[in-house]
Each structure stands twice: as structure tokens, then as C-alpha cells.
Chain A
Amino acid sequence: MLKAVILIGGPQKGTRFRPLSFEVPKPLFPVAGVPMVQHHIEACAKVPGMKEILLMGFYQPHEALGRFLVSAQQEFKIPIRYLQEYAALGTGGGIYHFRDQILSGGPEAFFVLNADVCSEFPLQEMLDFWQQHGNVHSFVMLGTTANRTQALNYGCIVANTDTHEVLHYVEKPSTFVSEIINCGIYLFTPAIFQHIGDVFQRNQQELVLCPYLGEESSNGWLRAEVIRLEQDVFTALAGSGKLYVYKTDGFWSQIKSAGSAIYASRLYLNQYSQCHPERLAQNKPGGPIIRGNVYIHPTASVDSTAVDHTCVLNTIVGWDSTIGRWARVEGTPSDPNPNDPYAKIDSETLFRDGRLTPSITILGCSVTIPAEVVILNSIVLPHKELSRSYKNQIIL
């Protein structure tokens, strides 16, 4: 039997996603019409033998999270639980802390997925690969191809081209190592906890040797439990014959900034058009003209007379916001170069040369845009009532 763990982080993580994350936790932000992690859950629930899904993070118990867990369990008919870390323990520390919960019931293997990725989730293919290549105690990492410059922003994997064994792993190198990058989706066996435990022991020993590295002792104890899978575990496992990479050509993207949420939305909507066309809006006589892949929530109404000549492009419009007639709300898409099949979305810094980098326009919740103005490449924080046009600004 199998399980899946989805790492959802906490309030201190994912701050590049603000102001969208002010209203709901980032993992619940809607992408292609449903919460970000619902895509993960749907993919996991489809794998035969999947018995439980664990969401792991350090958000406090949250009304929206609670409601989501209930509805997701009903929809996908699989137990889903939230395990709250007492502090940010890193991508490895959390699963190590809850290893007993993960191993209860005796799963032969379990998936670990980062919530802030958008993917085709080739989980069955990863399982088949794991079973076929022979070593039942090995671990599998999902990899994909990036271009040479952008690969430096991710975890880089050097692998044997025949056996696909990971020979070398480096997280965000400063010089080129490999075009194969880590997708943040893994298949582990219970043996992984031995390796994470080794890191934990090493951390503790280091603390004994140098207890006062400028931090208080209570933090010091916590530091031993903070374990990063990428830097601490994979780097050590590379070349040991235990870590393998399954390369996929399916779509994949990180979701770090608001702009990447729009790009991820596009990827999923494109997937719907091929696998679930019934989820997309269809052109109906008398209804709005639908061009390309569009998702309209069942309770939404698109009324062409009410929308009143507005033009909204490359924008995220927050809950309960209103846009006056003839207003123009526009952002700049930060999509990857469409001519490069391996280009990934850039995680640009907010400012460049002292000016705000042009990006998706975001209206936080309950924002009011008056009539006839233009809002271009701007971020408007929640509950603002604007009175004039703005360009390239953050409006607090």
C-alpha cells in the first residue's frame, strides 16, 4: 500500500506570493479554478493502492484549511489529514518528525510532493520505474529539463544516462552543473528515515561541539531538527547507488510568485482541454464569447452588459473586488520564452534598477477600481479604494 505527503509550508514561507496569500494560505489559492493542492490530491488519489494523503505544514489550524480537507475527502474518497509541525522544520525535518504517522499501516513506499509546484504528476510512471529498475530500497526523484541559464535556480541532477542513478546533486549552483532539475516530487521507501536520521545525529553533534554560534540555546536545539532534503540528504545520497531520477517531459512549473500562478493556471487549463474538457467553459448562444481554455466557477455569472467595456488582461482580481466601466486593468505576463521548450518561469525580484519589475497586476480582496482609469503593472493591497490611474506601483 502507498501513501502521499504534501508539504504545504507555513505563513513565514511563500512570502513572494503576497498579497494573494493575505486572504488564504498559499496552498489553497485557486489555480485553474481549484485550490493549488487539489491538483496534487487528485493525482495521488488516482494511483491504485493509495491509502492515505497527509498534508504537512506549520500553519495554525485554519477555517479554510479545515473546510478544504472535508470537501476534498468527500470528493476524492480517500482519507486526508493535516499534520501540523510545531515549527518550520524544513523539507526533511517535517517528515522525519512524523515518520511514525507516515509508516503506520506499513506502506511499502510513499510520495512526497511540494505544494508549490504545478505538474502533470506522473506518479504511476514513477512507481513503474521504481519497480522495474531493480533496487527496491532505492528512492526516486522526479526530474525535468531546464535551459542552461535557468537550471542554476533549481536543484541540479547529474545522472547516469543508462541506469538513471543520481551521481551528483547540487542545490542552486552558481556555475552550470546539469540541465536536469529537481521537480520537488519524490518517491521514498521507509529506508529514507535512516538517512534523514543520520543528518539529525550529525546536526546534534555539531551543536555539542559549537553550541553558541551566535544563537540562543532554545533555537539551537531546534536547529538540529531543521533538515532540508535537498541540501542535507540528496547531496549525500548522490553517488551512493540509492537515489534515482525519473525524467519527465510533461509540464512542470514552480509557483512562487503571483505571476507564476497565472502561468500554472494556463498549464492546468491546457491539461483540462485534453483530459477533462467538460471542466472548461463552452460557448453557448447568448453567453459570453469563450476563446481558448476558460474556467468559470459554477456559481459565477458573466454578464456582458454588467461588465461594461472594461479590459482586464494578465491580472488576478481578488475576492469581492469591483472594476468600474471603461477601466483598463493590465499586467505584464512573466511567462517563459515560448520558443525555448525547456524555459521555465523566472522568479524575478520585485525591483530592478530601482523600479518595480513589470509583472502581473494583482488586486487584493475588496479592491475598488473606479471608472475610466488605467491600472498597469501594479499591486494593490486588499481593501483599497482607488481614485485615479496607477502604473508600476505598489499601492499600500
Chain B
Amino acid sequence: IRISLSHEKEPLGTAGPLALARDLLAEDGEPFFVLNSDVICEFPFAALARFHRHHGGEGSLAVTRVEEPAKYGVVVSEPETGRICRFVEKPRVFVSNKINAGLYIFSPGILRRIQLRPTSIEKEIFPAMAQDGQLYAMELQGFWMDIGQPKDFLTGMCMYLQALRAQHPERLHSGPGIVGNVLVDPSAKVGANCIIGPNVTIGAGVVVEDGVRIKRCTVLKGARIRSHSWLESCIVGWSCSVGQWVRMENVTVLGEDVIVNDELYLNGANVLPHKSIAESVPEPRIIM
């Protein structure tokens, strides 16, 4: 598959980059997908394409149902056709529980609406398209998560693993000391008397020493977790070294190449790369 790179010299917002790549996108006159990279879901491309061709409008966007719609922008659409009537940003009273999932498919005609300048597709392009009756919403099936924040990243990870259990259970790890949905790279090593999971992903070349308990974490490539440590809801960055008898919890995030000394307690610590941690962090804070 051909992969092309369109590079913005200045940030062009969420619509401007489409104008920048105009030639690549309109090349064959076929509709094209647009995705936000910090969204994770089951990516129903085929269903979305079918939906888009069926209604014949200029654009389709995926919507997902959330529990707290007021945190996002909600989409109000006609129930039978899915035609979008309007958008409401962070409504104070309940309007709808469907929000923009950040996954679109457009016909090339949309490029007429977008100029080459910093432009927000949600604020400037979509409302006009909705006014013209050219924008339709398709409800997403399956999981969806905006994983831009570490806390939400871990939630999204759990959702992803759960979907994997339903669709490709053979890819998940099993064995002594593995609990629930756990993904372990074949090159990683897990020691004796560990309990890993539920909801853990272990990257390539990771070494987990004896007697370690890990729950709801992502451990990135090359990291080492030394013996007797206990981790819950953490993201351990590439090549980190976590000492013995360490306790890390509450969305502690270690950047690349962070060293955590033995016997420390990290509670909600956000540690920037290449730091060495020699003291406990009992309350959430950022270590620069």
C-alpha cells in the first residue's frame, strides 16, 4: 500500500491539512477517509463506506454514544436517515448522547469548502455542511476512546484488549500467573511467581523479574521491572528501569529511560524522560 506524507509547515487545524493535501486526496475522484490519530475504536471502514455511498451526501462522520456527552461536542441527527441537523458544543442541558467520534469519510467535493489556512473542521466546515443537509452520522458499533490523556489511554487499552478477547482470543497470553486479558510480546521475559493482569500489555524485550504484580498497565519496549514490585494503572516508557519493591499506581507515567530506585512509592507521578527518581512521590505531581 502506498503511504504518502503531507507535512504542514505551520499548524493548519483540523481542516486546513486536507486543503494542503488536495492533490493527493482528489486524485482519483473517490471518497476518502479522515481519522484523528488519538482515537481508538474498531474502525468499521467498510460499513462507513457503504453508509456514505447510500446517502450520497458530501460527508459522513462516525458518532459514538458516551455517558457524559457534555464533556464533548454532541451531534443531533435525524433517527431514520442519519442526516445531521446541528452540532452543540458542551451542552449544559441534555441534548443528545452521541458525540463526534473523529472518524470521517468525505467525497472530494468537500475540498471546495476548505481553504489553505488554519481551519477547524468541527467549528467552520461541519456546521455549514449540516445547514446544507450534506452531512450524515453513522453510529459506531463496539468500543471507542479518545486516548489523548494517559488515564484515557489506559481505559482505551482495556477496551481494546476486551475486543481482542472477543475476536482473536488466540493472540492474548495465557499461562501460570496470567490473569484476564494480557498481551505479551514473544521476546519479553516474565519471571517466576509473578501475577500479570488483568489488562496488561508487555512490549518487546521487556524483562519482568520474579514476584512482580502488574495490573492495568502498558509496559513499553525494553523496560525492566525488578523483583517484588507492584504496579497498577501505569504507563512504563521505553527502556525504563523500575527498582525492587517499588509500588506505582494511580496513572503514574514514566517517560523514556526513567530510573526508579528500589523501595519507592509513586502515586500519580508523571516523570519526564531520562529522569532518575530517588524519592517517593506520595501525591500526584509532575517530575521534570
Contact = CB atoms under 8 A, between A and B. Distances in A.
Q: How large is the interface on A (under 10, 10 to 19, 20 to 34, 35 or more residues)?
A: 10 to 19
Contacts of A177: none
Contact of A374 (B211, B227, B247, B263): B247
A328 B265 CA distance: 9
A309 B263 contact: no
A361 B79 CA distance: 60
Contacts of B249: 374
B277 to A, nearest CB: 16
A230 interface: no
Contact of A328 (B211, B227, B230): B230
- Which of A309, A330, A376, A391 lies at the interface centre, i.e. has the most chain B CB atoms within 10 A of its CB? A309
Interface in B202-261: 211, 213, 227-228, 230, 245, 247, 249
Contacts, number: 28
A295 interface: no
A326 B213 contact: yes
B20 to A, nearest CB: 51
A376 B282 contact: yes
Contacts of B245: 309, 311
A372 interface: yes
B282 A311 contact: no
Contacts of A64: none
A47 interface: no
A309 B230 contact: yes
Contacts of B280: 330
B211 A311 contact: no
B265 A376 contact: yes
Nearest to A308: B211
Nearest to B227: A309
A313 interface: yes
Contacts of B265: 328, 330, 374, 376
B78 to A, nearest CB: 49
A326 B265 CA distance: 12
Interface string B7-23: 00000000000000000
A326 B230 contact: yes
A372 B282 contact: no
B230 A372 contact: yes
Interface string A365-382: 000000010101000000
A374 B230 CA distance: 10
Contacts of A311: 228, 245, 247, 263
Given A374-B247, A374-B265, A376-B265, A309 B282 contact: no
A330 B245 CA distance: 12
Nearest to B211: A309
12 contacts: A309-B211, A309-B228, A311-B245, A313-B263, A326-B213, A326-B228, A328-B230, A328-B247, A328-B265, A372-B230, A374-B249, A391-B282
Interface of A: 308-309, 311, 313, 326, 328, 330, 372, 374, 376, 391
